[in-house]
Amino acid sequence: MKVKRTEFRPPPKVDSAVVRIAPRNPPPQINFQEWDSLLRIIFLRKNKTLLSLFKNNQVCDSLEKSYKALCSIKNKEIESSFSMKDKVEHIITESGFALKRARQMDMEDFLSLLLAFNKEDIHFI
């Protein structure tokens, strides 16, 4: 529904519109804290490619810390030659998001990226 600028006092320089936002029913079955952490990383610099965002040292250190904690809980061995940067690069390249930018992606892309990381036991917490 359009709202003309003449409906306001003082009138703004632009016209307005009323937008209705409805939540998805049922909501996606994801951990919303993890979803929020992923989106914070991705939109840190929305014009950079995802590969360059995830190769950031701070991001890799954070992911490696959570990965090692999860591996210790599951009693899973970590290779001595383990590199989080290589693992992240492999996941992003295999899922087809290496050259994508956050501003070019939609919600389904973000969900599939989150699932790709979760399949490799990398969680954003």
**Phi–psi pair at 64, nearest 5 degrees:** -65, -40
Q: Annotated binding residue at 84?
A: no
Measured distance CA(9)–CA(5) in Å, rounded: 9
Nearest to 124 by CA among 77, 74, 59: 59
Tokens of 106: 């939609």
Binding region: 1
Question: What residues are designated binding site for S-adenosyl-L-methionine?
Answer: 1
